[in-house]
Chains A and B, each alone.
Chain A
Amino acid sequence: MLEVDGLRVRYGNVLALDGVTLRVDDGEIACILGPSGSGKSTLLRAVAGFEDTTRGTVRWDGEDLGAVPVHRRRFGLMFQDHALFAHRDVLGNVAFGLRMLRLPRDEVAARARDALDRVGLSGFEHRKVRELSGGEQQRVALARSLAPEPRLLMLDEPLGSLDRELRERLVVELHELLRGLGITTLFVTHDQDEAFALADTVVLLRDGRVEQVGTPGEVWANPRTASAARFLGFATIVDVTGSDAGIVSPWGRHPAPKGIASGRVRIGFRPDGLRIDDAGPVPGVVRSSTFRRDHFLVRVDSELGALEVAAAEPVPAGTPVRVAADPGAAVVLPA
């Protein structure tokens, strides 16, 4: 079990991590999700032992790792662009961690071959890593991290540098592999699809701080801050006023979550939570319509601000429209 408590890392004047606390249980797959610059990679590097932590602790099964050097932590880390050893072949890369364990030579070879087999690269043993495609390099890096059977596997943007099509296939394979091994995993990504497909627990990170922790379903449905909501696709966020009578907008009364009651609050909608309807309560003028695979995204200027609305058909710019919403589709956020 990994426990990170109040972790702070400073680069010069920049606080890359500002008091991060999180926990990863045995066998759990936790994903740090956040925009670039949020401190994701720094967090992995700090857990791996590469960063001088200004404050806070990293513990494994209760043991403080502060004085344990990188090479004795028995963690695995797969780097963003893999950092494969260019002067070794595929097997040499995968066998490296096993050699560091001082295992007998034939056991090293056998286990390295097993790891390669697991990622579907049998027969690639003596290829040079430079000659591999991006997807193959990614698999070698994964096999290299897995071979010594680390207590914790960390992945930094594991599919980040690959094509979209390849990424979508590999995310499924990776999911099956990690589940099958039951290995405790901490990975970071800026890609929501990747995070929600792989993780048991999603940790939203922003500006070096944890914004929200939950299952993919909870986080997806109920972001707790405006920035988290915007990051997760709630493109329309408008200011409204809450009172003792509840939170009321032109679209009706919204159920208020605990802790948010009165005063200024905000509500957020995904585009499919809003619709263009002559009976809608909010008037506006269409600014643009953009094709989005299974719908058109219509931007509407209204007195509440810009609204992003999903529609089946494009609407010409300049058309006056009215916008309707189901109050239950809104997420209520603190101002």
Chain B
Amino acid sequence: MTVTDRLGRVALIGLPVAFLAAFFLWPVVSILWRGLAPDGNVDLFAIGAVAGDASLRSVAWFTFWQAAVSTLVTLALGLPGAYVLSRYRFHGRALLRALVTVPFVMPTVVVGAAFGALGVTRSITAILLAHAFFNYAVVTRTVGSLWAQLDDREQQAARVLGAGRARVFWSVTLPALRPAIGAAAAIVFLFCFTSFGVILILGGPGSSTIETEIYRQTAQQLDLQTAAVLSLLQLVAVLAVIGVSNRARRRQSAAASLRGGGEHTLPVRGRRRLVLAANLAVMGTLLGLPLAELVRRSLRGGLDGYRALTATTSGFLEPPIDAVWTSLRFALTATLLAVAIGGAAAVALTRTRRRHTRRWLDALVMLPLGISAVTVGFGFLITFDSPPLELRTSPAIIPIAHALVAIPFVVRLTVPVLDAIDPRQREAAAVLGASPRRVWQEIDLPIATRALVVAAGFAAAISLGEFGATLFIVRPDTTTLPVLIYRLLGRPGEAMFTQAMAASTILMILTAVTVLAIERLRAPESAVF
């Protein structure tokens, strides 16, 4: 190994570690410090005070049960969808699969606005439906990709041995799918547990989650200590869920036997027509209707809503439409950052031979996925308001926050692709005379590039829609599209509502275009989560 190779290797690990240490670990530690030792001395009294507060206890309870029920609703609607999308053969299946993914990347404020447009608002039903809307694709993707590859011969063997259809499903298919269902359930639960925009926009007066409470305590009550303790509580809960699901996954991995080769699909005949129709109805109502209604409401009064966005009369300092450019600019910067850092981490993860290095780096890189966006925003707020990193007034702070949220996705999308490269391809190249550097150029790079392009699209979509963290650190001249929509929704009057719908439609189209473009590029076998 030459000196430059060694330097390169150190940089691959050092870059992500330094970035995450500065912009993730430090803010999180600051929160801990603020919560536990407000005066410089460790003070556990604050925790006791929060734990003893009945209203805060009910917030915690509501957070938990709405997440649990949301997960169940999502699974109930999504599992049949996963079956149909992975096992049935019908025209437009590929397009439908792509369309179903669109809600997952929809900005929370757009979804809030869309359900608002439908009149489903200010209720627990609205929250549950919005969560199902978001996470439907998590279930169809995670479970569907396993279902598509399940070895049919196990089920056929069970049939031959005398098991009926229902029996085969319960005792062969379902156990084989359990790792994927468990993984999907854990992800959905986490997303719902840390849900922010949906609760803020659609929740009624009594529906406050830990996440929205942190925001309220900070922005309205100016009670940083309570916010810090709540962040701490959130952190512990999230880590516990991740720990439990990882443990379960380790135990269950290798449970399902997969068939090599292509997918085996069923022609749609007889009773299957009914099943397909029912699922299409669910997708249409749950996923299609809100977005359609959003567009329809934005066009009430022709293009007035859109025109008003370009005017300065709405009470904003600048024309609201400027938020589009701000969002696009931030998305570009955040994407470059996330791809550079996430890509470096992915390469380092797949190249390191030391098992414990890999495990720790993996955990560090994945942590931001579990920590809520509001915690990140709050952490930025209290950390970067003084030297050495005084970034609160810098426009860079928002793309950095977005990149932090996107990095885990970049890594998750890239690592499996790099891991899947057959090591013998590298050996074959070496025997044919390729130096280690050349092997990387010829074998790894073309494959990694494709994966990184897909990851970049995802990162862009995340940045475009990011709301929770942005709300903490946004300033009047850095208003992003989601923040603009939230502000418009909070103003009285039909005209403002129409403007909010118009801005939401613009954001929806931007996001959908990004995601559908990725969908064309992504390898069919790579799973998102």
Contacts and interface: CB of A to CB of B under 8 A. Distances in A.
A126 interface: no
A140 to B, nearest CB: 12
Interface stretch (A58-66, A72-80, A219-227): A72-80
Interface in B39-69: none
B433 A83 contact: no
A148 B433 CA distance: 9
Contacts of B443: 85
A212 to B, nearest CB: 29
B277 interface: no
B424 A79 contact: yes
B420 to A, nearest CB: 11
Interface residues of A, number: 23
A181 interface: no
B428 A101 contact: no
Contacts of B434: 71, 96, 100
B16 to A, nearest CB: 27
Interface in A14-58: 48, 50
A271 interface: no
A83 to B, nearest CB: 4
Given A87-B446, A87-B447, A77 B428 contact: yes
A90 to B, nearest CB: 15
Interface residues of B, number: 18
A206 interface: no
B428 A71 contact: no
| Centre residue among A72, A96, A100 by max chain B CB count within 10 A | A100
B425 interface: yes
Nearest to B433: A100
B427 A96 contact: no
Nearest to A77: B431
A79 B432 contact: no
A77 B427 CA distance: 9
Contacts of B427: 48, 50, 70, 77, 79, 83
B430 interface: yes
A84 to B, nearest CB: 8
Interface in A143-189: 144, 148
Contact of B432 (A69, A86, A87, A148): A148
Contact of A83 (B424, B446, B447): B424
Contact of B431 (A75, A84, A87): A75
B281 to A, nearest CB: 38
B429 A96 contact: yes
B438 interface: yes
Contacts of B265: none
25 contacts: A48-B427, A48-B431, A50-B430, A69-B430, A69-B435, A71-B430, A71-B431, A71-B438, A73-B431, A74-B433, A75-B431, A79-B428, A83-B424, A83-B427, A83-B428, A84-B428, A87-B446, A87-B447, A96-B434, A97-B433, A100-B432, A100-B433, A100-B438, A101-B433, A148-B433
Interface of A: 48, 50, 69-77, 79, 83-87, 96-97, 100-101, 144, 148
